[in-house]
Every structure is written in C-alpha cells, then in structure tokens.
Amino acid sequence: MTRLTGGLIDRARSLRFTFDGRTYSGHPGDTLASALLANDVRLMGRSFKYHRPRGVFSAGSEEPNALVELRSGARKEPNTRATVAELYDGLEAASQNHVGPLGFDLLAVNDLFSSFFAAGFYYKTFMWPRAFWEKLYEPAIRRAAGLGSLSMQPDPDAYDKGFLHCDLLVIGGGAAGLAAALTAGRAGARVILADEDFRLGGRLLAESHALDDAPATEWVARAEAELATLPNLRILRRTTVFGAFDHGVYGAVERVADHLPEPGRQVRQTLWRITARRAVLAAGAIERHIPFRNNDRPGIMLAGAMRAYANRWAVRPAKRVAIFTNNDDGHRTALDLAAKGVEVAAVIDSRPDARAQGQYRLVHGLVDNAKGRLGLRGVEIDSNGRKEWLDCGALGVAGGWNPNVHLASHHRGRPVWDEALQAFVPGEGGPCGLIIAGAAKGQGSTAAALRSGAEAAAEALAQLGIEARPADLPAAEDAPAGLRPLWHVPGKGRAWVDFQNDVTVKDIKLAHQENMRPVEHLKRWTTLGMATDQGKTANVTALAVMSELTGKPIPETGTTIFRPPYSGVSLSVLGGGDTGAHFRPRRLTPTHEWARAQGAVFIEVGPWMRAQYFPRPGETHWRQTVDREVLATRKGVGICDVTTLGKVDVQGADAGEFLDRIYANAMKSLKVGMVRYGLMLREDGTAWDDGTCARLAEDHYVVTTTTAQAGPVYRQMEFARQCLWPELDVQLISTTDAWAQIAVAGPNARRLLERIVDGFDLSNAAFPFMACAGLTVCGGLRARLFRISFSGELAYEIAVPARYGQALVERLMEQGADLGAIPYGTEALGVMRIEKGHAAGNELNGQTTAQMLGLGRMVSSKKDGIGAVMSRREGLAAETRVLVGLQPVDPAQPVLAGMHLFAEGAPHRTETDQGWITSACYSPHVGSSIGLGFLADGGARMGETVIAANPLQGQKVALRVVPPHFVDPEGGRLRD
Amino acid sequence: MLIPHPLLGPRDAQEFTYLGDAALLNRPDGMAEGAEAAFAEYVYLRDNPAGVHRELWFHEQGDRSWLVVTRDTTTHEILGAELARDVKLKGGAA
C-alpha cells in the first residue's frame, strides 16, 4: 500500500476489505475508491456497452465508472459508486458488468465491433425482421444489459420514513453551506444542514490552501464544533437531498448504517421529507473533462479528483502523473501533487499563453491519445503538431467546473449560460424559496463561496423576517480560473463524452448527421446522460460538441436540466417500513381473536381480515366446512361477524330529505323503527352500492354500506352534504369501527336472541321483518337490533359497542349451544346470499344498473336522487339484460363465474353474447352448483336452457334459467 | 404539496383525496326541464386548464372538510383554499 503524507484518514486503525475476492486494507476515513487506489488497484469496472476497462474517474457522487456491487447475500447492492462507499472493516465489493475476470471480459468483444454499435444502433438494427424481436433480440439484449445483478432475495434490513420541518434547509456542507449554516444558526433560525458525505467540509477537505493562514480543515472543525452546540440546528451527514418538490418540500435519504457491516438495531436508511420555509442550495460544482482519443483508460481522471485523493486521502493515483488542462485549476493539482512528492511528468495546457506556476514541465498543447488498456501507461501530446508520447500512470483532466444545478432545475428551472464562466448557472424559476449559493451559482473561489453562502442565508432569513448578520468569514483564496474553453480534442478515434453509457464524440457527430440535433433527440438517440449518473460529467460537454457541429452558440443549442433523484434512491427506502404486512393498516374485527381461537381461516377483504370459514376436526376440504355451516345455519342458527360493513350515522332535521337525495329510492317516508333496503347510484346512472337504512328516530338514521365501499360512500355523502346541499340540517359520522355488528341467522335466531335481550319483545307482531330498535342486552349493555336478512332465513343483526363484540359472540355461542348455534364465515355468507339471490360486489361491479339488478322500479322519479336522471337515459333504459338464477341441466356440471351466456346452438362470439355469470357456488341446499348472472331478456326466459361458455378453456355447460331465488322464493322464512 | 386549510392551517396534500373540477358544485336540478342534457354536461364535460384551476379536495385523513382549492396547474402554486360549503352557500363555483 502506498500512502502520501497527511490526509483525513485514521492511520492508527486498519480496515480489511475485499474486492473481487482479494483482500486489501485501508483506514477509517477512506472510501472504497480511495482505498483501492491506495492499494494500486486502478481497474474497477467495465463500461456498459463496449465493456471497456474502466478506473475511477471522480471523487464524488458524480462517478460514472467505478460502479461496484457491495456486500453479499441478501444485502448485495449493485451499481454502488466506489467513490462514495465509506470503507468499513469487512466490506465486500465486486466489480460488475463482465463475463469472466475483470481483466479479461469476454463481452469486451463488443468493443471490436463498436462501429456497429454506434448511436441509434438498437433502433436501427432490431427493427427487422419483426418476429425476431421477442424470441431472439430482446432476450439477448436483456442478458447483456444492466450493470450489476440483484440478490433476488428480500432486503433483510429495516428502513424508515420521517418528517422534518425547518426555517432553512442548507443543502451541502462545503464552504458555502457551512457559512450559510453558521449565519442562520447563530441567528436562531431552525436550520437543517444536510451533506451527502460522511464528513462536513465539501471541497475544503480536498484542497491545500489555507483559511486565515491555517489549514482549511481547522476552520471546518471549528465551524462544525460550533454548529454542534446550537440546539436550533441539526446536522444530517451521509444525507443526500435528492429532490425539490412542491411548496418547499425536499426529499432526502440519510444513509444511517450503510457504513456499517450490518445495521444492527438501527435502520439502514431513512427517507426524510423535509418541509423547509427556505432552502440554500450549496451543492458545489462538478468538474468537466476534455474528451480525446482513448480518454477512458483507467488512470485518467478529473484533475480535481486527483487532488482530492492526494489531499484528503493521501493517495497518489500513480507514481508519475500528468495534467491536461484549459485553466489554472489544473495547475493547482500539479502543485499539490508535487508538494506531496508525486512526480509530475508534465502539465499540458491548451492555452498558448499559459505559464507554469511551479517547478514542473509545462507543454502548450493537447493530449490526443492514451495507451494502456488495463491501466494508463502513457499519453500522446500534440504541441503545435509536434507529437510525443509521455510516460505516466495517471492523467488529471481539468476542463473547468460546471455549477451543480441539479436541484435548481427541478421545477422547470432553466439554467442559463454564463459566457464569462463558460458554464450553465441556475436561472430564473426553479423551486420556490430555493436560493443558490457558492460554486453551484458559479461563485467557485473559496472566498466567493463563503461570502455567497453567508449572504444567501441572510437573504433567506430576511424573507422570513428573521434578522441575521452574515457570519464573519476567514480570509481565503479568491483566484480566477482563467479558463479558455476547450470542449474536446479533435481527431480520429473514439473520444468518450459519457463514460457510463459509452457515448463518444463520434456518436454525437452521427446524431448531428442524422438530424437528431435538438438536445432531447440527441439524448435519446445516443443514450447520453441516461445512465445512473444522469450524465453529470457529460451533458454540458456533449452540448458544446453539438454546438460546434451546428455552428450555433451553446445556449442556442439547448440546455441540460435534471429530474429527481439527484443520485440513486433505493426502492427499499422509498418503501420505508411500509412493506409486506405493513403495506397498509390491517383492520381486525372485534371478534378476530375469538375466531382465531375457534380455528378460523381468515381472508383479506379490503383492509379487513375476516373469518372465511371455521373448519372442524375431520373436515379435510373447505367445501365440507362451508356446506356444513350453510346447512347448520338454515337448520338451526348461525352467527357471523358483519362489523366490516360500513356504517354512517345520519342525524338532523333534514336527515330524511338528505337520504332521499343520496339513495335512488325514497327514505324520508321510512317509519321510525323500520329498516329499508337502499340502492345508491353513481351520478352517471350506474348502480353503485347497496345496504340498509334504518330510522332510529325522527331525525336519526343509520346507513350501512358494503365493506368495500364504506370509505367511498362516506366520502360521497360528505360531498353531497358540504358541496351540493349545505343548506340542509344534517350531520354525518362514520361509525363502522364503533359498533360490533353480529348477524344471527336461522330458524332458531329468535329463540337465541330472546335469551340475551333485557325483556325486549321479539315476537313477530312486536318486532316484524325490517324492524329496528335501540335496546339493552345481557343485563344493561347498550345495543341496536335490526331484523334484516342476507341469508334468506329468519335473521337479525345486533350491534353493540365494539369492545363488547367478542363478549357478545361468546354469550350467543354459549346460550345457543342447545339451539345448534355455529359460527360461519364469509364463504357460507356468500353461498347463502347467492342461494337467496341477493346482489353483492360481483353484481354491483360498476357496469350494471338498477334495472339489470331487477330494481329498476326502485329508482324514484318523484325526487332528485343522485344518478336518477342519468339512469333513465336512452342507452341504459334500453338495456335488457337482467339478473337471473342459473342451474346446470346436469347437476354434476360446475357453474363458474365469468362464463358468458349464449343461446343454444349460437356461435360463441361477441355479437351473439347474451350476458355473463357474476357469482357461482356450490349450493348444499339445491345440491348442485348454482349461479347468478345477467341474461338478455332474462325475465322472459325462465325454464329456457342456455349455454355458459368459457372459450379460453374450452368449457361449455348447459344451464337452466331460473328465478334468482333458490331458497324460499316467497320470503316466508324472513317474515315468520 | 401543502394545502392551506382554512381552519387547520397548512396540511400535507397526502392527507387529502383529490376529486377534480370545482364545477361539480353546480349540480343541475334533476327535476327541471331538460335535466338529462344538463346532467350529461355535468357528469362528463370538464375544463382542463393549464393555469389557474379551482378544484375539490377532501380532507379525508383529517377533519373531513371538502375544500375548493385554487391551484395553478402549471406551477402547483396554491392561490387559496376555502371550505366548499361556504363556496356553495355563496352561489357555487363560477
């Protein structure tokens, strides 16, 4: 291992890690990239398309090349940038995107055929023959595409989401960000300072120049120490603010435990939603390179990154390095490396009047080629036509700095071209309340960045009415860069612009030739900027090349904007804790624990868990259980939790009038103490939801809805109350969760209930079918009783406050032991309602009408109910399909929901389709499968045989059309 | 997004359910002459402006108020929010 002097690494401790199976060591403070470079590993990956060998290119999150798979097993994480992966003891990393060893990738054959893989290759080639796409091209492309590989195992770690609020969010903890945070923090504002690095300081950590005659890191340490004492300021390290959203909301990912082998008891990452009254974007700048032939050799990197490796990580990129620059900043790298004892072979400066700033060889000219496939061995210099190969193991390229305008362009903020800076800077627009500072604004010198950060914070606070004095700042370098633009080195061969997606200057020329000139076309034709790095180091350079080709200035050629996220955000953290069983709240009925003790099998019904059936010992098939539950209910008495049905309490002097408008049928005329079936329509006339409506008092109704529509119906009722008829005196509240509601059905239902009511007269005369009442049960428990039936049997629904639900069921079971009381689940419930011909969700599927349900006459024309007018329109009124019962001619044949109905002998085609089966089940009462369905002219076809077909599976069953009531068609049982 | 609830102050848009054009406040009279044509328009025809839009939001995870929110659809800037009930009582959404 080779280390220079200095640096922000803890040399006292060593960390062991592996890369492609080999063990290396680094120090705390290292990134994977710095540690690999320190171990003289330069080859870190392969490019996406041509599988070219690649080394590290940058020292930050803009890295296009050094993408690795981190960790192993279920924690394996592809496409991780080695430049930001914090080293920990035991870190495992592997290179990706190669077949065979990294040094000899079989797919590198693509590189030999690169002339075939030019821009637009996929679009042009795989068009023909068409039939080859699905079977041949796509699978082959898919196999070769993608960089890393997934673990294919569930993520074992925990993630979280959180909300933060502040007056000022400072994005970036470099010179400008620290100055902003100090200014705002001292003024007492609530401040959040977020930085993606694990160490505050930004570019100050990578530079050698002094602040107030002391190393910059000393000032950073003092600033950090002061910030830590401020109770109104929170520092989020390892936190990437990845997007600016509406109204001052920022998304940020804090990598809480990415730097640990395993998170232990911590979450791995947290997704923060930060609501900030104002924000300062101090995201710095990203250096750009200068494309030349073979400029992607491992060892060629950004000059600023080279300086960062030397200064911050005490790593030399090679024994002998060279610099290629078009501005003074490149010379700084040469000086810093020379000061650390690294041999600087030459500084090649494209500016003819450039001067050496130290003891090194200066060449006025260009670099126009590089050699060393697996690691740079030398570069070819062209100095006014005089060519020379220069031996070096690394080349730093300094093409100027692009302000990091990423977040500034999230709200259609359009960066504008700054001619003096030769770069895009944030323009008008962009996220509201976001003030740009420092290098992100083009204020790149340390002094300017500090000043600009402090001023931005003061400006932001002034807007909020908080008085702030810009922090007193240390003296710092303020040198101009003296840049003279050089966008690429002309010449033959391939010069890379976008490393990750293998886009070269040639590709841009081809796009230009093929008239893909607008930036948007250029991007899609060449895939420029479409890789995981979003072209952070490529886009502006590509624009400049295109501008040169079109002869138009850069700002007229286009601009480049970015969308969130700033860098990759894992799906795991976006999911937070809301995965698997926690995806949404799970609602349990009041009798859930009791049902579980009875061995119930549960089923999800919307957010609810409901008992589906209650198997008994010896029952080997669910049908056995369900048949038993149905028969026992119809013979004795069955008990079922129906709490999940929605309940809306409606009170007020105008409650009846209100419900008349909500329902298709009339409710104002309902007598107190009675219940009526109610049908709701959508305003377009379609049947929507049904349930019961009970009138408990003159000004008090209770509405029930289906389980599935409880929320939407309540929402619609509130809409009607507030938006349509606010003049009505009516109040609503959802009481679905407040009452446990238990159905008690079967011939023994009355006898059972008589044993629990407190002296309430349940006789048919006193409490007839469709009666309702408030009463007490079990010696004083408040309850509501409704004589309604879904099963077709003598039945009641009894409601008690939810916390007594389980006790009530236990009491009913205990009292009903000699009456044959059994619990039944949703399956038996469904069978009994099909046997009785009651519509449910399958019939009310949003495509049917009251008329189809046989309820057409219920839609009152004497009042203005929601949906009534549209239900009478021509198309709906002409509908002849109507709900019928269906029974197989051969009782052994099954009936399946979804089958379509045809006349006997008719072909099975859309034109001859006469309807479909909505619900089907095996009826133990009938002794065969039965179904409900909509059949054209169904009412007039009783006794006729129709064919139910499932052409997809070649099924065909002859069915007899019957009335939709298989049980007790006269309804005598209900009314006894 | 934050919605300035007239009673509760700024609330996260996640607490709300969106419905759409506030013209839905102007439900035709179902008993009037020509109601079918009026309803066809009410149910099916909406303006979809790029710019200022008055629209209905339901504070479903909150106090259950229906609001008329004025929003610029091109910038998401929210220019105001009123209780839909007040808007309706004042004569509906113009």
- A628-675 pLDDT, tens digit per residue, is 999 999 999 999 999 999 999 999 999 999 999 999 999 999 999 999
Mutation target for B interface from A723, A859, A863, A876: give the one with most B CBs within 10 A. Answer: A723
pLDDT score recorded for residue A839 = 93
Does residue A125 register a pLDDT over 90? no
Which amino acid is located at A137 in the chain?
A: Y
Mean pLDDT of all residues in B41-50: 94
Nearest Cα residue to A437 out of A184, A209, A60: A184
Does residue A99 register a pLDDT over 80? no
Q: Is residue B31 part of a domain?
A: yes
pLDDT score recorded for residue A104 = 73
Give backbone dihedrals phi and psi of B14, rounded to 5 degrees, phi first: -60, -20
Q: Can you give the pTM of this predicted structure?
A: 0.89
Chain B residue whose CA is closest to A727: B89
Question: Which positions ≥6 away from A417 have C-beta within 8 Å?
Answer: A423, A424, A553, A554, A555, A559
Q: What is the residue-wise DSSP string for A539-566?
A: HHHHHHHHHHHHTS-HHHH------S-S
- Burial code (b: 16+ CB inside 10 Å, e: under 16) for A160-173 equals beeebebbbbbbbb
**Contact in structure between A182 and A170 (CB atoms under 8 Å):** no
Enumerate the residues of chain B whose CB falls inside 8 A of the CB of residue A684. Answer: 43-44
SS3 A355: coil
pLDDT (tens digit, 9 = 90+) per residue, A799-843? 999 999 999 999 999 999 999 999 999 999 999 999 999 999 999
Chain A residue whose CA is closest to B30: A864
Inspect the interface and report whether the beta carbons of A727 and B25 lie closer than 8 Å: no
Q: Is residue B37 part of a domain?
A: yes
Cross-chain CB nearest to B43 (options A684, A864, A865): A684
Min Cα distance A430 → chain B (Å) is 10
Interfacial residues of B (vs A; Cβ cutoff 8 Å): 1-2, 13, 17, 19, 24-25, 27-31, 35-36, 39-40, 42-44, 56, 58, 60, 64-66, 75-78, 83-85, 88-89
C-alpha A197 chain-centroid distance:
24
Inspect the interface and report whether the beta carbons of B77 and A718 lie closer than 8 Å: no
Range of the domain at B57: 2-89
pLDDT score recorded for residue A519 = 87
Whether the upstream peptide bond of residue A129 has omega within 30° of 0, thus cis, is: yes
Cross-chain CB nearest to B84 (options A245, A249, A723): A723
Tell me which residue has tokens 């379609």: A686
Which amino acid is located at A42 in the chain?
A: R
- Burial code (b: 16+ CB inside 10 Å, e: under 16) for A422-437 equals bbbbbbeebbebbbbb
Instruction: Measure the CA–CA gap between A623 and A613, rounded to whole angstroms.
Output: 9
Cross-chain CB nearest to A247 (options B1, B85, B89): B1
Min Cα distance B34 → chain A (Å) is 10
pLDDT (tens digit, 9 = 90+) per residue, A474-505? 999 998 889 999 999 999 899 999 999 899 99
Instruction: Measure the CA–CA gap between A373 and A480, rounded to whole angstroms.
Output: 36
Inspect the interface and report whether the beta carbons of A718 and B24 lie closer than 8 Å: no
CB atoms within 10 A of CB A750: 19
Does residue B3 register a pLDDT over 70? yes
Q: Sign of torsion, CA A633 A638 A641 A644?
A: positive
Enumerate the residues of chain B whose CB falls inside 8 A of the CB of residue A683. Answer: 27, 39, 42-43
Inspect the interface and report whether the beta carbons of A865 and B43 lie closer than 8 Å: no
pLDDT class for A149, splitting at 50, 70, 90?
Answer: confident
CB atoms within 10 A of CB A384: 9
SS3 A425: strand
pLDDT (tens digit, 9 = 90+) per residue, A707-739? 999 999 999 999 999 999 999 999 999 999 999
Inspect the interface and report whether the beta carbons of A275 and B30 lie closer than 8 Å: no
User: Helices marked H in A762-842 — which ranges?
Assistant: 805-815, 826-836
Cross-chain CB nearest to B66 (options A411, A711, A722): A722
pLDDT score recorded for residue A120 = 66
pLDDT (tens digit, 9 = 90+) per residue, A275-288? 999 999 999 999 99
C-alpha A372 chain-centroid distance:
43
Virtual torsion, Cα A892, A898, A902, A908, nearest 10 deg: -110
pLDDT score recorded for residue A443 = 94
What is the count of structural domains for chain B? Answer: 1
- Residue A507 parent element (H or E): helix A505-513
pLDDT score recorded for residue A290 = 98
Chain B residue whose CA is closest to A863: B31
Pick left, alpha or beta for residue A538 (phi over 0 → left; psi -120 to 50 → alpha; otherwise beta). alpha
Instruction: Measure the CA–CA gap between A828 and A793, rounded to whole angstroms.
Output: 13
C-alpha A548 chain-centroid distance:
40
Does residue B1 register a pLDDT over 80? yes
Question: Which positions ≥6 away from B84 have C-beta within 8 Å?
Answer: A722, A723, B22, B25, B56, B65, B66, B67, B68
Q: Is residue B82 part of a domain?
A: yes
pLDDT score recorded for residue A299 = 97
Enumerate the residues of chain B whose CB falls inside 8 A of the CB of residue A716. Answer: none
Min Cα distance A15 → chain B (Å) is 44
Min Cα distance A724 → chain B (Å) is 6
CA A448 to each of CA A428, A443, A546: distance values in angstroms, whole numbers, following the listed order: 21, 5, 32
Counting residues of chain A whose pLDDT is more than 70, the rounded percentage is: 96
pLDDT (tens digit, 9 = 90+) per residue, A460-478? 999 999 999 888 999 999 9
Q: What is the residue-wise DSSP string for A836-858?
A: HT---TTT-SSS--TTTTT-GGG
pLDDT (tens digit, 9 = 90+) per residue, A33-48? 999 999 999 999 888 8
Give Dmax over CA atoms of chain A in angstroms: 115
Mean pLDDT of all residues in A185-214: 96
Question: Which positions ≥6 away from A397 have C-beta within 8 Å?
Answer: A289, A290, A295, A300, A301, A302, A303, A323, A324, A325, A330, A367
Total beta-carbon pairs less than 8 A apart between chain A and chain B: 70
- Residue A168 parent element (H or E): strand A159-171
Q: What is the CATH number of the domain that holds B6?
A: 3.30.2270.10
Lowest-confidence region among A103-112, A361-370, A850-859, A919-928:
A103-112
Q: Is residue B39 part of a domain?
A: yes
Q: Is residue B94 part of a domain?
A: no
Mean pLDDT of all residues in B67-94: 92
Tell me which residue has tokens 């029974």: A887
Give backbone dihedrals phi and psi of A910, rounded to 5 degrees, phi first: -55, -40
Report chain B's C-alpha Rg in angstroms.
Answer: 14
Inspect the interface and report whether the beta carbons of B35 and A275 lie closer than 8 Å: no
Min Cα distance A428 → chain B (Å) is 14
Mean pLDDT of all residues in A686-690: 96
Nearest Cα residue to A663 out of A697, A687, A647: A687
> Mean pLDDT across chain A, nearest whole number?
94
pLDDT class for A559, splitting at 50, 70, 90?
Answer: confident
pLDDT (tens digit, 9 = 90+) per residue, B55-64? 999 999 999 9
pLDDT score recorded for residue A126 = 58
Does residue A196 register a pLDDT over 80? yes
Q: Which residue has the higher pLDDT, A877 or A455?
A: A455
Chain B residue whose CA is closest to A866: B30
Half-sphere CA count of A48, side-chain side, radius 13 A: 24
pLDDT class for B7, splitting at 50, 70, 90?
Answer: very high
Question: Which positions ≥6 away from A410 have C-beta within 8 Å?
Answer: A243, A244, A245, A430, A431, A562, A563, A564
Counting residues of chain A whose pLDDT is more than 90, the rounded percentage is: 86
Does residue A760 register a pLDDT over 80? yes
Instruction: Measure the CA–CA gap between A144 and A122, rounded to whole angstroms.
Output: 13
Pick left, alpha or beta for residue A79 (phi over 0 → left; psi -120 to 50 → alpha; otherwise beta). left
Instruction: Measure the CA–CA gap between A791 and A80, rounded to whole angstroms.
Output: 60
Q: Is residue B65 part of a domain?
A: yes
Beta strand A587-588 pairing with A503-504: unpaired
Enumerate the residues of chain B whose CB falls inside 8 A of the CB of residue A726. Answer: 85, 88-89
Tell me which residue has tokens 């303020």: A478
**Contact in structure between A64 and A500 (CB atoms under 8 Å):** yes
Min Cα distance A411 → chain B (Å) is 8
Whether the upstream peptide bond of residue A615 has omega within 30° of 0, thus cis, is: no
User: Helices marked H in chain B — which ranges?
Assistant: 35-44, 84-89
Q: Which residue has the higher pLDDT, A828 or A861?
A: A828
Q: Is residue B57 part of a domain?
A: yes
Inspect the interface and report whether the beta carbons of A722 and B85 lie closer than 8 Å: yes
Enumerate the residues of chain B whose CB falls inside 8 A of the CB of residue A865. Answer: 30
Mutation target for B interface from A271, A648, A863, A869: give the one with most B CBs within 10 A. Answer: A869
Does residue A364 register a pLDDT over 70? yes
Question: Which positions ≥6 away from A430 have C-beta within 8 Å?
Answer: A244, A408, A409, A410, A411, A412, A413
Enumerate the residues of chain A whose CB falls inside 8 A of the CB of residue B2. Answer: 246-249, 275
pLDDT score recorded for residue A150 = 86
Inspect the interface and report whether the beta carbons of B85 and A723 lie closer than 8 Å: yes
Interfacial residues of A (vs B; Cβ cutoff 8 Å): 245-249, 275, 411, 432, 683-684, 711, 715, 718-719, 722-724, 726-727, 863-865, 868-870, 872-873
> Which residues pair with residue B2 across a beta bridge?
B12
Instruction: Measure the CA–CA gap between A355 and A335, rounded to whole angstroms.
Output: 13
Does residue A143 register a pLDDT over 70? no
Half-sphere CA count of A360, side-chain side, radius 13 A: 30
